[in-house]
């Protein structure tokens, strides 16, 4: 089973809705009109043109936040700079830490009215009452394949 599918399965089991797994820019763009909070790039994309989905989402003024979920190295850092991916997370860390990472970086429209989102969040788990409404939709953009 590939890493993107494992991530999607884990997020679903955590109660987070995954809008789609996609293998190409064109396929991913079919889901961009839905309410998407995160656009997750899993690993390296074989066809670098597929990173164009990020710019396309921006040009459509979609609020999706791009996140690179991969083994972080110099190449991934370069891709994040080139394609303006603001968030990156080391995929070898536990998946529950990734869920907390997304929680800390969630868009402002997901912050509850009785909650203030501090500039620097503590490394604590979200309250149980927040877990069910954590993310309305997450789109995972499936990497085509990892470089060996």
Q: What is the pLDDT of residues 41-50, one digit of tens each?
A: 998 888 888 9
Determine the pLDDT at residue 125. 43
Higher pLDDT, 95 or 136: 95
What angle do helix axes 95-104 and 3-13 make, rounded to 10 degrees? 70
Q: Which of 129, 148, 144 is nearest to 41 (CA)?
A: 144
Helices (H), 30-127: 52-59, 74-82, 95-104
Rounded to the nearest 10°, the torsion over CA 141, 60, 109, 77 is 50
Confidence bin at 116 (pLDDT 50/70/90) = low
Q: What is the pTM of this model?
A: 0.71
In the prediction, which pLDDT does 75 show?
A: 92
Domains of the chain with CATH codes:
3-108+129-141 (3.40.50.2300)
Kindly calculate the radius of gyration of the chain based on its CA atoms and give it in whole angstroms: 15
């Amino acid at each position: 089973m590939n890493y993107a599918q494992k991530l999607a399965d884990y997020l679903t089991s955590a109660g987070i809705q995954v809008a789609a797994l996609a293998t190409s820019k064109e396929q991913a763009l079919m889901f961009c009109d839905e309410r998407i909070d995160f656009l997750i790039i899993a690993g390296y994309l074989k066809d670098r043109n597929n990173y164009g989905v990020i710019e396309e989402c921006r040009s459509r003024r979609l609020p999706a936040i791009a996140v690179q979920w991969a083994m972080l190295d110099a190449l991934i850092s370069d891709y994040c700079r080139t394609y303006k991916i603001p968030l990156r997370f080391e995929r070898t860390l536990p998946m529950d830490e990734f869920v907390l990472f997304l929680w800390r970086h969630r868009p402002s429209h997901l912050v509850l009215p009785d909650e203030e989102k501090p500039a620097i969040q503590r490394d604590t788990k979200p309250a149980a009452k927040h877990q069910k409404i954590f993310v309305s939709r997450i789109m995972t953009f499936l990497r085509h394949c990892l470089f060996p």
